[in-house]
Amino acid sequence: MLMGATVKSRTPVTRRYKRYIVNGSVAFQGPGGESRGALLNVGQGGILSRTNATHEEGATLTLHFHVAGYPETFATGGQVVGTKGTLLAIKFLAEPEGITFLLDWLDLQHYTWSGVA
């Protein structure tokens, strides 16, 4: 390290689950009606999507999402836990039926993942 250089501390990633980077689609049903978006990542605890629709943090939504290349579509409830521009982070309110099989399949297909501390 150079003399006089400062080191900025970083906040460690504290996510509980792997987040698999995927291509897919998602439909949201909420207080403002129905909207659609692109599925960007999925994990055991929730999803990240890109959408032009506005959903406020804390809003409860019904989700239907599909990962490209996987034969099943998933349905569950979710809560918006973060927004930034067109990004929408949603945590599952109940584990979607079959999500474990999807995550195992993504792992076997060597999908890129991140997020475990």
Which pLDDT tens digit goes with each residue over 41-53?
999 999 999 999 9
pLDDT level of residue 16 (50, 70, 90 thresholds): confident
Tell me if 74 is assigned to some domain: yes
Distance CA 40, CA 50 (A): 7
Considering only residues 35 and 14, tell me which one the structure prediction assigns the higher pLDDT. Answer: 35
Q: What is the pLDDT of residue 17?
A: 78
Which pLDDT tens digit goes with each residue over 62-110?
999 999 999 999 999 999 999 999 999 999 999 999 999 999 999 999 9
CATH of residue 26's domain is 2.40.10.220
Print the domain residue range for 42.
Answer: 19-109
Q: What is the pLDDT of residue 2?
A: 45
Q: How many domains does the chain have?
A: 1
Distance CA 46, CA 82 (A): 11
Tell me if 7 is assigned to some domain: no
Distance CA 77, CA 97 (A): 11
Tell me if 9 is assigned to some domain: no
Backbone angles phi, psi at 31, to 5 degrees: -60, -30
Tell me if 40 is assigned to some domain: yes
Q: What is the pLDDT of residue 45?
A: 95
Tell me if 5 is assigned to some domain: no
Distance CA 75, CA 98 (A): 10
Tell me if 4 is assigned to some domain: no
Which pLDDT tens digit goes with each residue over 2-11?
444 444 445 4
DSSP 3-54: TT------PPP-BSS-EEEEEEEEEEEETTEEEEEEEEEEESSEEEEE-SS-
Q: What is the pLDDT of residue 6?
A: 46
